[in-house]
A and B are shown apart, each in its own frame.
Chain A
Amino acid sequence: MIGLLASLVDGLLVGSVYGLAAMGISLIWGVMDVINLTHGAMIVAGMFSLYLMVEFLGVPAYVTLPPILIGGLIVGIALYWIAVHRMIGQPPLMSLLSTFAVNLVLIGLGTAQWGTVLFNVPVSLPGSSIGRYTFPGTHIAAALLTAAIAFLLYLFLFHTRPGKAVRAVSGNREAAELVGIPTTRVLALAFGLGVALACVSGMLIGTMFPFTVLSGDAYQLKSFVVTVLGGLGNPAGALIGGIAIGLFEGLTTPFMPVNWTLVFEFVLFVVALIAFPGGLLSLRLPRRAE
C-alpha cells in the first residue's frame, strides 16, 4: 500500500515535467493553431544540450537550465520564421507537414552524429527517503524547477506587456491586430516560448532518465496525450494533464511492464480525444472546429 503511494508520489514528480513539455505544445496551439511536430526533436535537443555541457564543459547539470531556456527561445523564433510563418492561416495539413519535415531533418542529423546509443547524464543529488522508499533527488529537483518555471510563465503571461500580447493574440488575432499589437512578432515569440519549454523539459528528463536520439517520439506522444487531457491551447490545463499522466504511470507501473505503458497511454489518448475534445477542464465548451 505504501509502495503504491510512493509510486504515486514519484509519478506526480515526473508527471509535472511531462506537463511542462505539454505546456509548450499547448501554448503554440493556443496562439496560432499549429501543432508543433518539432516538439520531440526539441525535447531531444534539450537532452543533448545537457549532455554536451555536462560532459565537455563540466558544468553542474542544473546550471545548464538558463542557457538551454534562452537557446530554446532563440531556436524557436528562428524555426518560426523558417517553417511556420508561411503556414499561418493555411490548412492544418501544411503546418503539420512543415514542422514534421524540420523534425525529420533534426532527428536525421542527430542519428547521423550519435547513432541510437543510450546516453546517461549522472546527476548526484541526495534523494529523500520515507521508510523503505527513496525518491530520487533528481525527480524532486525536476518537479521543483518545473513549478518555478510554470510560475515564471504565469508571471510573464499575466503581468508583462509581451505576455499580455501573447494572450490577446491567442484570444482573437484580428482584434489584437486592430488595437496595434504586432501579431507576427507575438506569434514568433510564442513559438519560441513553446520550443524553449520543450527544450527545458527535455533537459529535466535528461537528468532523470537515460535517453537516445529517438527518445523524442515517445515524449512527444506523451506530451500530446497530456495536452489533449488538459485541453489544447490551455497551458494551465497541460500542467494538470501532465500530473494526471504521471499519476496514471505511477498507478500502473507496479502492475505491468513499463513498455506497455505507451499502449495504454495511447488508448487513454484516443478515449480522451473522443470523449473530451475540449480537455478534462473544459467540458462545458463546445467542440472546437478548425
Chain B
Amino acid sequence: MKAVEAKKPGLAAGGVLRRPFFWIMAAIVAAFAVAPSIGNDVELREDLLLAAVYITLASNINLILGYAGYVNFGSIVFFGLGGYFTVYFMSALGWNLVAASLIGGLAVSALAYAFGLGILRLRGAYFALATIGVNEAVQAFVTNFTPWGAGTGIYLSTELFLPLGGPAQALWVIYYALVGVMGLSLYLSYFIKISKFGLGLRAIGENEDAAAVLGVPTPRYKTMVYCVSAFLPAVAGGLYFFKGAFIQPIDAFDLNFSTEAIVTAMLGGQGTVLGPALGAYVYEQLRSWLLTSDTFANFQLVISGALLLVIVLFAPGGLMGWLYRRWPGLRKVLE
C-alpha cells in the first residue's frame, strides 16, 4: 500500500503533468495526427490507420493480459461487435457516426460486463477457456442472426459519408477519430496503471489469493477491467467497419486480429503502457512489409505464431523488457 500513498499526493497536485511519459504519449498521438496530413499522404494514412487500430487493440488487451495476468482469447469480439452495433445503428436506425459508435461502444461494454459477471468468477485457465468459447459462440450467434444480415453481413450506403464531407473527406475524419481512440487507449492504460485500481489488478496478476486476502475486491476488479477493456476496441471497430461501409462475420471476428492483439502485446512487453503500442507498431510495419511479398502473405498466421512462441519461450518481457535491461534508467521515463 505504500506505493499508493506515495503516488496520491502527486496525482492530486497535477503531478502527472510533470511526468515526461505523459508528454511522450501526447507526442506519439500528435505524430500520428500530423504525419500523413503533411502533403496529404493517403498511403501513409492507411498504414498508420491500421497501426492505430492495432495499438488500440493491443493496449486494451494489455489491461487484462498484462496487468491482471488473465489471457483473453476473445478480445476481437469487442471489436467485431462494436462494428456491428455501429453499422446497424447507422443503417437501420439512421444515427450519425458519433452517436452510433459511442452507443455501440457502451453497448459492448455492457455486454462485456454481463459476460464478465459470469466468466470472471473463473480463475486462470478456466477463464481462458471461457473466452475462447465467447469468441466461437458470438461468431456463431452473429452468423445466424438475421437482423444483422446473418452470414452475408450489412452494407452501408455511401450516402452516409456525405455528412462528413463526402467519401474522400470522411476517410480523413475517420482517421483522426481512430488516432483519438488510440490516444485515449494509451492514456487509459497509463492512468489505470498509476491508479489504485491498477495496483489492485497487478496484485491479482502476481497472486490472486494474496490479493484477495489483502483486501483487493478481485471479482469486481476483474469484471471492471474486462468491461473497460471492451469500450475503446468497440469504438475502434465501429469506425473501422464504417470506413469499409461493410461488415460480415468473417471480417468482424477475424481470428488473425484476435491473435495478433495478443502477439503484439507480448512482443512489446505486457504490463507496460508503451510496450503494447510499440509491439503493435512494429508488428504492423512488419506485417505490411511481409504482405507485399506473395510467399509470406499466406504465412501470416505462421509468422505470428512463431513470433509468439519465441517471445513466450525466450523473452517473456518483450521489447520493453529488453530495453529496460539494456538501459535501466528508462524504467523511470517509459512506463
> 0/1 per residue, A97-112, Cβ < 8 Å to B?
1101111111111011
Inter-chain CA distance A100–B65, complex, in Å, is 14
Give B121's nearest chain A residue, CB to CB.
Answer: A274
Question: Which listed residue, B70, B133, B302, touches A105 by the CB 8 Å rule?
Answer: B302
A-binding segment of B10-18, B123-131, B236-244: B123-131
B44 within 8 A of A: no
Residues of B within 8 A of A92 (CB): 124-125, 128
Contact, CB under 8 Å: A290 / B123: yes
Q: How far apart are the CA atoms of A102 and B300 in the complex, in Å? A: 14
- B283-335, CB < 8 A from A: 298-309, 312-313, 316
Among A8-16, A60-68, A183-191, A260-268, the stretch in contact with B: A260-268
> Chain B, interface size: which category?
35 or more
Main DSSP-derived SS at the A contact region = helix
Residue in A86, A101, A262, A289 whose CB lies within 8 Å of B306: A101
Cβ–Cβ < 8 Å partners of A283 in chain B? none
Contacts of A153 in B (CB 8 A): none
Nearest A residue to B308 via CB reads A101
Contacts of A101 in B (CB 8 A): 305-309, 312
Contact among B136, B144, B209, B300 for A289, CB-based, below 8 A: B209
For A277, the closest partner residue in chain B by CB is B126
- When distances are taken between beta carbons in the complex, the residues of chain A under 8 Å from B134 are 266
How far, in whole Å, are A273 and B181 apart by their CA atoms in the complex?
35
Q: Please determine whether A266 and B302 come into contact, CB atoms closer than 8 angstroms.
A: no
Please name the residue on chain B nearest to A102 by beta carbon: B309
- Closest residue on chain A to residue B126 by CB atoms: A273
| Residues in A240-263 with C-beta less than 8 Å from chain B | 257, 259-260, 262-263
- Tell me the bound Cα distance from A69 to B300 in angstroms: 30
Closest CB in chain A relative to B269 CB, distance in Å? 14
- Residue A281, interface by CB 8 Å: no
In the complex, what residues of A have CB within 8 A of residue B259's CB?
Answer: 100, 104
Number of interface residues of A (CB under 8 A): 47
> 10 A–B contact pairs at CB < 8 A?
A87-B312, A91-B124, A93-B71, A97-B308, A104-B259, A105-B301, A221-B132, A257-B144, A263-B141, A274-B122
**Residue positions of B touching A, CB distance < 8 A:** 65, 69-71, 73, 118-119, 121-126, 128-130, 132-134, 136-137, 140-141, 143-144, 209, 255, 259, 262, 266, 298-309, 312-313, 316
Q: Which residues of A pack against B, CB within 8 Å?
A: 29, 33, 35, 83, 86-87, 91-94, 96-98, 100-109, 111-112, 217-218, 220-221, 224-225, 228, 232, 257, 259-260, 262-263, 266-267, 269-270, 273-274, 277, 289-290
3 smallest A-B Cβ distances: which pairs? A104-B305, A108-B301, A266-B137
Supplied contacts A91-B69, A289-B209, 8 more A-B pairs, CB within 8 Å: A93-B70, A94-B312, A105-B302, A105-B309, A112-B299, A232-B126, A263-B141, A269-B129
